[in-house]
Amino acid sequence: GAGVSQSPSNKVTEKGKDVELRCDPISGHTALYWYRQSLGQGLEFLIYFQGNSAPDKSGLPSDRFSAERTGGSVSTLTIQRTQQEDSAVYLCASAASGPNSPLHFGNGTRLTVT
Amino acid sequence: EDQVTQSPEALRLQEGESSSLNCSYTVSGLRGLFWYRQDPGKGPEFLFTLYSAGEEKEKERLKATLTKKESFLHITAPKPEDSATYLCAVQPHSGTYKYIFGTGTRLKVLA
Per-residue pLDDT tens over the stretch B33-85: 999 999 999 999 999 999 999 999 999 999 999 999 999 999 999 999 999 99
Best B23, B35, B42 member to test A by mutation, with max A CBs in 10 Å, is: B42
Give the model confidence (pLDDT) of A102-112 as tens digits. 999 999 999 99
What rounded mean pLDDT belongs to chain B? Answer: 94
Nearest CA in chain B to A100: B32
In this complex, do A102 and B46 lie within 8 Å of one another by their Cβ atoms? yes
pLDDT at A2: 83
What are the strands, taking DSSP E only, across chain A?
Answer: 5-7, 10-13, 19-24, 31-37, 43-50, 53-56, 65-69, 75-79, 88-95, 104-105, 109-113
pLDDT at B95: 66
- Please state the rounded mean pLDDT for residues B85-93: 93
**H or E segment and range at residue B46:** strand B45-50
CA trace torsion B93, B98, B103, B107 (10° rounding): 80
Whether the per-residue pLDDT at A1 is higher than 70: the answer is: no
pLDDT at B98: 81
pLDDT at A6: 98
- Please state the rounded mean pLDDT for residues A88-102: 89
Nearest to B42 by CA among A14, A65, A93, A60: A93
Whether the per-residue pLDDT at B94 is higher than 60: the answer is: yes
Cα–Cα distance for residue pair A95/A71, rounded to 1 Å: 16
pLDDT at B93: 83
Give the model confidence (pLDDT) of A24-81 as tens digits. 999 999 999 999 999 877 899 999 999 999 888 989 999 999 999 998 899 999 999 9
pLDDT at A100: 76
pLDDT at A42: 84
Q: Measure CB to CB from residue A102 to each of B42, B49, B103 and give the nearest one.
A: B49
Check if B33 contacts A (Cβ < 8 Å): no
Check if B46 contacts A (Cβ < 8 Å): yes
Check if B89 contacts A (Cβ < 8 Å): yes
Check if B49 contacts A (Cβ < 8 Å): yes
Show residues of chain B in contact with A39, CB under 8 Å: none
In this complex, do B43 and A106 lie within 8 Å of one another by their Cβ atoms? yes
Nearest CA in chain B to A50: B97
Beta carbons of B46 and A103 less than 8 angstroms apart: yes
Beta carbons of A4 and A24 less than 8 angstroms apart: yes
